[in-house]
Amino acid sequence: MESKNTIGDLICGRYRLKMSGEDFRPVVMGVLNVTPDSFSDGGLHVSLDLAITHAENMIAEGVDIIDIGGESTRPGAPPLSVEEELSRVMPVIYALRDCGKPLSLDTRRAAVMREAIAAGIDMINDVEGFRDEKSLRVVSESDCGLCIMHMQGEPQTMQQHPHYVDVMTEVSTFLAKRVAAAESVGIARNRICVDPGFGFGKTLQHNLDLLANIEQIQSALRLPVLAGLSRKSMIGQLTGKPVEQRLAGSLAAALAAVKHGARILRVHDVGATVDALKVWQAVEAV
């Protein structure tokens, strides 16, 4: 008999990721930001080197998927041109193409998705949930995985007045509709994971309600849930800590997400998360 917690493998381009069963362990997606930072002189070469070194470190620490992002989706971040986004992410995709780990691209733009797919990206992580039908069409012509995320509003303003009558129903219904839209253009269900989008147009209470009910979303959609909680403002709200002091809170949030059924964790601190999961799993296996 198949358990109600059984979720099929996730197909991501060249890779097939186990999502349940005896030897399942939660999949760790490591965040690789290629936005220019204060340590960089702004030159492309410098930020490319930093990104590659960061990716190598994450691989050594046990990362399962590398999520490359060139556009900051943090509240208040300015929009980026397609050309600028491509110039940031494409060199990183080419450099990491044969690193042995599936590569994901965090982008909302169909034109960027098209280039990344041509370069061999394994997954597209779209915080807009592929609401642009062009994106769905581009992705349908490939075999890459999809992460369909819920967001209320737009990144610039989404945290101003988050409002739901029933956050669980609204997020689940949105995700179910986007999954149906993907299937309607011929995308197989086993290429899709879903994400409630923690912090994307949500108050602390909305985030906590969603976190405590991940299993409900997962069993309603029968698709693996990805949870991105790492360093987010909900951790800051609960601990009173600034972003650079949120590791302990983020680890607790990651384990809470796993307890509630999350199959994939999007994190900044790969080594610490892998350690926490090893301890968690050892106890669960008794």
Reading the block at residue 248, the tokens are 């302990």
188 Cβ contact list (under 8 Å, min separation 6): 11
| Neighbour order of strands in the sheet with 103-106 | 192-195, 145-149, 123-126, 103-106, 65-69, 27-33, 264-267, 226-228
Chosen residue from 19, 27, 58, 226 binding ligand 8Y4 by CB under 6 A: 226
Instruction: Please name every residue paired with 193 in a beta bridge, in sequence order, or none if there are none.
Output: 147
CA 199 to CA 175: how far, in whole Å? 16
Angle at 62 between CA 229 and CA 144, to 5 degrees: 70
Which one, 127 or 139, has the nearer CB to ligand 8Y4? 127
Q: Report, in Å, the least distance between residue 79 CB and ligand 8Y4.
A: 15
Give me the residue whose beta carbon is nearest to ligand 8Y4: 228
Q: Long-range pairs for 206-209 at CB < 8 Å and ≥24 separation?
A: 206/162, 206/164, 206/167, 207/232, 207/234, 208/234, 209/167, 209/168
Residue 19 interacts with ligand 8Y4 (CB under 6 A)? no
DSSP string, 232-282: -HHHHHHH---GGG-HHHHHHHHHHHHHTT-SEEEES-HHHHHHHHHHHHH
Cβ proximity to ligand 8Y4, 64 vs 106, nearer residue: 106
Say if CB 32 and CB 267 are below 8 A apart.
no
The verdict on whether 18 is a catalytic residue reads no
Cβ-based nearer residue to ligand 8Y4, 226 or 274: 226
Interacting stretch for ligand 8Y4, rule CB under 6 A, among 56-64, 157-165, 225-233, 255-263?
225-233
Q: Tell me whether residue 123 or residue 279 sits nearer to ligand 8Y4 (CB atom).
A: 123
- What CA–CA distance (Å, rounded) separates 22 from 86? 40
Specify the stretch interacting with ligand 8Y4 by CB under 6 A; choose among 4-12, 88-96, 191-199, 203-211: 191-199
Active site residue 232: yes
Task: Report how far apart, in Å, the C-alpha atoms of 141 and of each of 33, 186, 273 are.
Answer: 27, 9, 34
How many positions of this chain bind ligand 8Y4 (CB under 6 A)? 18
How many Å apart are CA 128 and CA 107, to the nearest integer? 9
Which three-class secondary structure state does DSSP give residue 25?
Answer: coil
Span interacting with ligand 8Y4, options 79-87, 91-99, 190-198, 255-263, rule CB under 6 A: 190-198
For ligand 8Y4, the closer of residues 2 and 167 by Cβ is 167
The span of 76-84, 171-179, 211-219, 230-238 binding ligand 8Y4 (CB under 6 A) equals 230-238
Residue among 88, 109, 202, 266 flagged as catalytic:
266
**Piece in contact with ligand 8Y4 (CB under 6 A), picked from 5-13, 83-91, 163-171, 192-200:** 192-200
Span 156-185, contacts to ligand 8Y4 by CB under 6 A? none
What part of residues 99-158 is at the interface with ligand 8Y4 (CB under 6 A)? 106, 125, 127, 147, 149
Q: Which of 109, 202, 232, 263 is an active site residue?
A: 232
Q: Which residues are catalytic, by number? A: 232, 266
Q: Which positions touch ligand 8Y4 (CB under 6 A)? A: 69, 73-74, 106, 125, 127, 147, 149, 195, 197-198, 226, 228, 231-233, 243, 266
